[in-house]
Structure 1
Amino acid sequence: MDLRDDPTEGLSDEQLDLAYNVRRKAGPERFAALMKRYRADSDAAVDGLPGTRDIPYDERGGERLDVWGTEDGEIRPVFVFLHGGYWMAGAKEDTAFMARMLHGQGIATVVPDYTLTPKATVEEIVRQVRAAVAWVWHHGLEHGLDPQRIVVGGSSAGGHLTGMTMVEGWQEELGLPADVVRAAMPFSGLFDLRPIPRLYVNETARLDQESAVRLSPAFQPMERRFPAVFAVGEDDGEGFVEQSRRFQPHWGDGELLVVPGRDHFDVILDLQDPDTQVSRALLGLFATLREDLT
């Protein structure tokens, strides 16, 4: 698949909406129920779990992150998870549901907030999540986090933001090594933003074709490759499935994981159980990092 091919070419606005409007596909009742479950499962996951809430990570943006699953006297590898919501919704409190599972596997979890659109531009959100990764590198040891073993993941818009931490060209400005992100697992990622200007979400994202290309992981420099899993639900929106299918071979050092019986919203909830496909894949990435350091 040639990423230079425009994924919107020949598609009507209605066809694009069907491909990318996963909230419409889920229906209002199921969507509302899943959003409640995100918060309830996250609350349950961190209840009694060692960690620290609301740590400022970015002076310029004023945003904060939570650290979960650390242990005194240990330096743990860390999963940085970036929430979805088409850059206009979501919060760190809704997306910590994997923290207890990872804690049991000796892995800490970091969940950052970022300023939502339209208050912030997508470009500013990218800057903020990169600043969150930089915080883990520069300050993680103070919180029991291993800066040498950072894996970044995220869902939907968070998958896009994950992609923007995987590429090159931003690390040096933040005082980071080129390999600060050692592995990645975007879920239902948006790697080519050219469809966005024609979607309803552009009422807040406010992208044109030029900015959509500039902010697309698919068009960023990426000479360095590292292990990655590109996960998507079998029943996800067609646009999201196609995005992962197109980007994974372009990345070249990663696995495409299409999860049967899962859709855009429930595939990430499988991270609560260590025996699901997505959890095994994520834990496999951390196992790879252990091998690299031995």
Structure 2
Amino acid sequence: MSVADEETALLGLAPVAPDRTVAYGPHPDQLVDLYLPRGADGARAGAAAGRPVVLLHGGFWRAAYDRRHLSPLAAALAGRGLPVALAEYRRVGAGGGAPRTFEDVAAGVAAAVRELPGDGAPVLVGHSAGGHLALLAAARPGTPVHRVLAVSPVADLARAHALGLSDGAVGELLGEGPGLEARLAAADPVRHPPAGVPVTILHGTDDPDVPLELSRRYAAQSPGTDLHELPGVGHYAPVTPGSPSCHTLCAHLLRPRST
């Protein structure tokens, strides 16, 4: 699969319905979809075989992109015996933006911990803008996080803003105008590495949407970050079930990293 075909391959997958959806607030987007662990035969497992996972989708924090495109990945992980929560959150254009989006992620993680089977704090798996949200949530005091697996994350928010990624998405998220520098500082993962939380980053070398440079800058500022560069891979393949780079994601997720 070429880099140019990756987006079509992911978005062409049929959404997979969850076992259950729970609300963590009154807004229509304050939801988490639960995918319960299943055995090799597809039957629901009697007990969780792995640590809970919370998936955070990307889309540059905009309302035009919702969680459904990660539902095949959520179902695939549940099929490997993992209890999975696919979290939705308020996004720019539909009641979101800073700080509401960040507050929703924290509340969604808490709801997932309450509702999912499994042992202990969850692994946060975030793609693209969801990778930014996962890294930021892990640094938020009181958020239960075992470790973070960030995939093609917007890990350096100031640099993303300077590059004008996705027609100024960072400015839309934080709000342009006076005080932007302070808002950037407060919401930039590179300035807030999560203390005591292991971080693994997977990033394709040919990613045209979120440059690999952002993950390299994060890793350089956050000692202990485990950065894996995926040669010839673009933005979407790592979260597309069946792709070689998605197998890599699953291997990292299923191989616990010690704290």
Q: Which runs of 5+ in 2 are unaligned?
A: 38-43
Aligned to 2:47: 74
Task: Give the partner amino acid of 2:24.
Answer: Y
Aligned to 1:278: 249
Instruction: Tell me if the contact between 1:56 and 1:63 (Cα under 8 Å) persists in the aligned partners.
Output: yes
CA distance in 2 between counterparts of 1:182 and 1:138 reads: 15
Following TM superposition, by how much is the alpha carbon of 1:104 offset from its aligned partner in structure 2, in angstroms? 3.0
Larger Rg: 1
What is the RMSD computed on CA atoms of the aligned residues?
A: 2.9
> TM (normalized to structure 1)?
0.71
Matched, 1:95 2:70: yes
CA distance in 2 between counterparts of 1:67 and 1:117 reads: 24
Deviations along 1:62-92, one digit per CA (max 9) or x if unpaired, are: 5111111333632352221111111013212
Instruction: Give the 3 Å change call, closer, same or farther, for CA 271–193 of structure 1 in structure 2.
Output: farther
Following TM superposition, by how much is the alpha carbon of 1:209 offset from its aligned partner in structure 2, in angstroms? 2.0
Deviations along 1:12-44, one digit per CA (max 9) or x if unpaired, are: xxxxxxxxxxxxxx77xx58xx25x4344252x
Task: Give the partner amino acid of 1:260.
Answer: P
CA distance in 1 between counterparts of 2:65 and 2:103 reads: 18
Q: Give the match's secondary structure for 2:234.
A: coil
Aligned to 2:235: 264
Q: Give the match's secondary structure for 1:97.
A: helix
**1:191 is matched with which residue: 137, 147, 155?**
155
Q: Which runs of 5+ in 1 are unaligned?
A: 1-25
CA distance in 1 between counterparts of 2:244 and 2:79 reads: 11
**2:19 is matched with which residue: 51, 66, 78?**
51
Question: Identity, % of aligned pairs?
Answer: 20
Instruction: Give the 3 Å change call, closer, same or farther, for CA 128–136 of structure 1 in structure 2.
Output: same
Q: Give the match's secondary structure for 2:120.
A: strand
Task: Give the partner amino acid of 2:133.
Answer: L
**2:106 is matched with which residue: 130, 133, 141?**
130
Instruction: Give the 3 Å change call, closer, same or farther, for CA 41–109 of structure 1 in structure 2.
Output: farther
Matched, 1:233 2:204: yes
Following TM superposition, by how much is the alpha carbon of 1:108 offset from its aligned partner in structure 2, in angstroms? 1.9
CA distance in 2 between counterparts of 1:62 and 1:190 reads: 22
Task: Give the partner amino acid of 2:56.
Answer: L
> TM (normalized to structure 2)?
0.79
Q: Give the match's secondary structure for 2:195.
A: coil
Q: How many residues align?
A: 240
CA distance in 1 between counterparts of 2:209 and 2:83 reads: 33
Matched, 1:222 2:189: no
Following TM superposition, by how much is the alpha carbon of 1:106 offset from its aligned partner in structure 2, in angstroms? 1.1
Instruction: Give the 3 Å change call, closer, same or farther, for CA 281–42 of structure 1 in structure 2.
Output: farther
CA distance in 2 between counterparts of 1:267 and 1:275 reads: 4
Instruction: Tell me if the contact between 1:68 and 1:99 (Cα under 8 Å) persists in the aligned partners.
Output: yes
CA distance in 1 between counterparts of 2:234 and 2:78 reads: 26
Instruction: Tell me if the contact between 2:31 and 2:88 (Cα under 8 Å) persists in the aligned partners.
Output: yes
Task: Give the partner amino acid of 2:224.
Answer: D
Following TM superposition, by how much is the alpha carbon of 1:283 offset from its aligned partner in structure 2, in angstroms? 1.5
CA distance in 1 between counterparts of 2:48 and 2:217 reads: 37
Following TM superposition, by how much is the alpha carbon of 1:247 offset from its aligned partner in structure 2, in angstroms? 1.4
Matched, 1:159 2:135: no
Instruction: Tell me if the contact between 1:66 and 1:110 (Cα under 8 Å) persists in the aligned partners.
Output: yes
Tell me whether 127-136 or 193-202 shows the greater mean CA deviation.
Answer: 193-202
CA distance in 2 between counterparts of 1:246 and 1:87 reads: 21
